[in-house]
């Protein structure tokens, strides 16, 4: 980036010191010198005979002043144009730095969020079971509810709690997937976060989510297990994204 910045400045610098401007400067200096010689040499006719040094100076000044003024105007214009270009290069560089910092900050936020939900998943508990075992046992109880009207009593509160925990995990995972789809990170950070999300979902969540989608809760229990449909909804959102279809093996 530094090299590109210097090359742009060097390119803009040539506005002032290019070949045409140099030739123009040489011609003007040459013209002034020749003019002094011409006007101080004896003339062949009185028409070009000035006589006094002041008249010679006034003549040379009168001839060269408009040209010098025009050249000055050109140089001022070139200087302004160079400054505008330089400012734009600096602005672009600052904007690029801000974008890079924003991408790094975004990656840190989502990477930390993924780490948090992974730790949250590891600490899930249900009926003295933990992590994947907790989800597995809760799904078994849910399946029993689809095949009988056995009274689980207070156990439904525990089932609802673990379903809410799974909704929390999947909702946050969905926001990370959306950020990945929008390519909000640098390439290396994108690849890293992408691999971590795929590994986490494929290893820990996919099989339980597929089982959950197949659950049919009796109407008798629908009021007690209120979050099942919400859980199915967020699972469908994730599994119908292009990201899921392209990266997670079914």
Averaged confidence pLDDT in the chain: 78
Once rounded to an integer, what is the mean pLDDT over residues 161-179? 92
Residue 28 and residue 164: Cα distance in Å, rounded?
84
Q: What is the pLDDT of residue 204?
A: 92
Residue from 146, 149, 147, 128 nearest 137 by CA: 128
> pLDDT tens across 191-249, in order?
888 889 999 999 999 999 999 988 877 766 767 777 888 999 999 999 888 888 887 76
- Give tens-digit pLDDT for 25-56: 677 667 666 766 666 665 555 555 555 555 55
- Which pLDDT does position 55 carry in this prediction? 59
The predicted pLDDT at position 197 comes to 92
Label each residue of the chain as H, E or C: CHHHHHHHHHHHHCCCCCHHHHHHHHHHHHHHHHHHHHHHCCCCCHHHCCCCHHHHHHHHHHHHHHHHHHHHHHHHHHHHHHHHHHHHHHHHHHHHHHHHHHHHHHHHHHHHHHHHHHHHHHCCEECCEECHHHHHHHHHHHHHHHHCCCCCCCHHHHHHHHHHHHHHHHHHHHHHHHHHHCCCCCHHHHHHHHHHHHHHHHHHHHHHHHHHHCCCCCHHHHCCCCCHHHHHHHHHHHHCCHHHHHHCCC
| Confidence label for 65 from pLDDT (cuts 50, 70 and 90) | confident
pLDDT at residue number 102: 85
**What integer pLDDT is reported at residue 59 of this predicted model?**
61
- Residue 2's pLDDT band, with cuts at 50, 70 and 90, is very low
pLDDT attached to residue 227: 84
Pick from 37-46, 59-68, 119-128 the range whose average pLDDT is largest. Answer: 119-128
């Amino acid at each position: 980036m530094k090299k590109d910045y210097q090359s742009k400045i060097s390119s803009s610098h040539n506005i002032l010191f290019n070949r045409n401007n140099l030739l123009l400067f040489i011609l003007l200096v040459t013209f002034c010198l020749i003019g002094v010689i011409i006007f101080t040499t004896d003339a062949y006719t009185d028409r070009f005979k000035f006589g006094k040094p002041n008249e010679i100076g006034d003549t040379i000044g009168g001839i060269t002043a408009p040209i010098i003024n025009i050249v000055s105007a050109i140089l001022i214009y070139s200087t302004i144009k160079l400054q505008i270009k330089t400012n734009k290069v600096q602005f672009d560089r600052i904007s690029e730095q801000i974008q890079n910092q924003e991408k790094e900050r975004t990656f840190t936020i989502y990477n930390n969020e993924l780490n948090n939900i992974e730790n949250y998943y590891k600490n899930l508990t249900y009926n003295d079971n933990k992590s994947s075992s907790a989800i597995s046992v809760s799904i078994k109880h849910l399946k029993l509810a689809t095949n009988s009207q056995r009274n689980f009593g207070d156990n439904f509160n525990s089932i609802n709690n673990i379903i809410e925990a799974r909704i929390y995990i999947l909702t946050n995972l969905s926001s990370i997937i959306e950020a990945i789809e929008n390519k909000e990170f640098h390439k290396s950070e994108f690849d890293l976060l992408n691999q971590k999300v795929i590994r986490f979902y494929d290893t820990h969540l996919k099989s339980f989510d597929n089982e959950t989608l197949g659950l049919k809760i009796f109407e008798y229990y629908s009021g007690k297990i209120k979050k099942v449909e919400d859980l199915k909804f967020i699972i469908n959102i994730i599994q119908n994204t292009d990201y899921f279809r392209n990266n997670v093996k079914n």
